[in-house]
Structure 1
Amino acid sequence: MCGRYTLLAEEVEILREFGLEHRINGYTPRYNIAPGQKVVAVIHDGNEKRAGFLKWGLVPGWAKDPKIGYKMINARSETAHEKPSFKRLMTSKRCLIIADSFYEWQRNGKEKQAKRISLKDRSLFAFAGLWDKWGSEDEELFTCTILTQDANSFMEPIHNRMPIILPKEMEDEWISPTKWKPDQALQFLQQMEMEDLDAYDVSDYVNSAKNEGPTCIEPIAN
């Protein structure tokens, strides 16, 4: 799964890396992004790519209670094309969720060790995401979820699942306004090659979503 990540880049770096023309109003770098918070995402509105904020934790448009979002921070890519909550979104509500590392907790007996994981060969990247709009008479929400897959050989010792990180050349195609059949979206994700990862141990300071700042990413000695 993916339950916490970072985005430390300056706004200008994000705009340049993802070919965006408009500023991200309210953007600030983050060391400990958690479910329920606003995250930077990129969609294609049919005319252009644009970045903004989505709330992390998908609330399907048909949901009766928006609290369902806390249970839907991740979606299994292998079955998303079949599930009522995600099937419709796989066709035309695909997004990029921007990050530069994510955290995972490796179990060692009764203990868990927090690790910060990033790509070896580039800093900024995008998780494959899905988004939706939910509304009531009093509230309107734009929310998202991160698609996951089975861990690769690097991640297996740490956790059995991992977020899908899109190769650079596949980002624009993922958010293309072209409508896909749900199984086409699955096939698209299954054809990509995974990039090499790096990881190092960080302190349990990051365990609390209330904690923010450089301490979250400081390496600790093994």
Structure 2
Amino acid sequence: MCGRFAFTASLEELLAVLGLIDVEDFPPRYNIAPTQPILLVIAGNRREPGSNLPDRRAMLARWGLIPAWAKNPADMPLNINARSETAAEKASFKAAMRHRRVLIPASGFYEWRRVGRRPQAYWVRPRSGGIVAFGGLMETYAEPGGSEIDTAAILTTGASPDIAHIHDRMPVVIKPEHFSRWLDCRTQEPRDVADLMRPPEEGLFEAIPVSDKVNKVANTGPDLQERVEPAPELTAAPERQMPGDAGQLTLF
């Protein structure tokens, strides 16, 4: 799964890698948590005159997809992830999988490995640095009062061999050469992009053990990504706030 991630790249790098024509500047975010706003890249409606760049634009959405048919979001699970193997058939995701695939830029993600009964946090980042783009889904939910909110989920797949010792799942990573095909929901049906939702090649990521400060939403500094020695195994689990727990920031 993916319960926390970070995006700390410069605006220039975002524009260059994602092929965006323009986007507002933003501060680095070291601990992005469920229900918080996340940056999405979606297919646009037209190409700018004289531009050789692909037609893509950026937008913000709440991390935690709410299906359009939901009557009461409070009764729905917090859909921060969607399994890529079944998303095209699941009621919560199949419409978005067909019509609203997105890219979610990231500098890396956090994952937890059980060490005895204690979870050890890891910062998982591209070995060569830079940006990766997670495959994602978007849905716009209309509240009973008439207001609308854009929501999103990160697709997951089986972990690559260098991550599997930490967790058996990880985000789907879409390579730059496949961005256009992934975002093309007009001609590319879910079956046409199924080959893109595979574990990445071994060696793409490196996993760095970090402190459990990342467990708390209030901790948002770059120190979250500093290497620490993994803690020894404990027989009792300490009190902690794990990703996805109640108490996250909300856009509602």
1:104 lines up with 2:103 in the alignment:
no
Question: Higher mean Cα deviation, 190-199 or 59-68?
Answer: 190-199
CA apart distance, 1:192: 7.0
CA apart distance, 1:24: 2.6
Read off the aligned partner of 1:65 and give its amino acid letter.
N
1:117 corresponds, among 101, 124, 136, to 124
Per the alignment, do residues 34 and 68 of structure 1 end up closer, same or farther by CA in structure 2, a change over 3 Å counting?
farther
Q: Is the 8 A contact 1:58 1:69 kept in 2?
A: no
How large is the Cα RMSD of the aligned pairs? 1.9
Distance 2:127 2:201 in 1: 14
Q: Match for residue 37 of structure 2?
A: 38
CA apart distance, 1:98: 0.7
Read off the aligned partner of 2:98 and give its amino acid letter.
T
Q: Is the 8 A contact 2:5 2:30 kept in 1?
A: yes
CA apart distance, 1:220: 1.1
Q: Secondary structure at the match of 2:86?
A: helix
Q: Match for residue 7 of structure 1?
A: 7
Distance 1:151 1:158 in 2: 9
Distance 1:204 1:191 in 2: 26
Q: Secondary structure at the match of 1:155?
A: coil
Deviation per CA, 1:13-52: give whole Å up to 9, x if none: 2112211112236x22100000000001100123220012
Q: Secondary structure at the match of 1:71?
A: coil
1:75 corresponds, among 76, 79, 82, to 82
Q: Is the 8 A contact 1:59 1:68 kept in 2?
A: no
Alignment size in residue pairs: 221
Distance 1:67 1:194 in 2: 39
Q: Is the 8 A contact 2:39 2:60 kept in 1?
A: yes
Structure number with the higher helix fraction is 1
Q: Match for residue 150 of structure 2?
A: 142
Q: Is the 8 A contact 2:125 2:207 kept in 1?
A: yes
Q: Secondary structure at the match of 2:192?
A: helix
Q: Secondary structure at the match of 1:89?
A: helix
Q: Match for residue 200 of structure 1?
A: 208
Distance 1:67 1:209 in 2: 21
Q: Match for residue 89 of structure 1?
A: 96
Q: Is the 8 A contact 2:181 2:193 kept in 1?
A: no
Distance 1:193 1:221 in 2: 27
Question: Higher mean Cα deviation, 151-160 or 186-195?
Answer: 186-195
Q: Secondary structure at the match of 2:85?
A: helix
TM-score (norm 1): 0.92
Q: Is the 8 A contact 1:95 1:131 kept in 2?
A: yes
Largest Rg, 1 or 2 = 2
1:221 corresponds, among 209, 229, 246, to 229
Distance 1:195 1:156 in 2: 12
CA apart distance, 1:139: 2.6
Identity percentage of aligned residues: 38
2:161 corresponds, among 153, 168, 176, to 153
Q: Is the 8 A contact 1:80 1:86 kept in 2?
A: yes
Per the alignment, do residues 14 and 69 of structure 1 end up closer, same or farther by CA in structure 2, a change over 3 Å counting?
farther
TM-score (norm 2): 0.81
Q: Match for residue 23 of structure 1?
A: 23
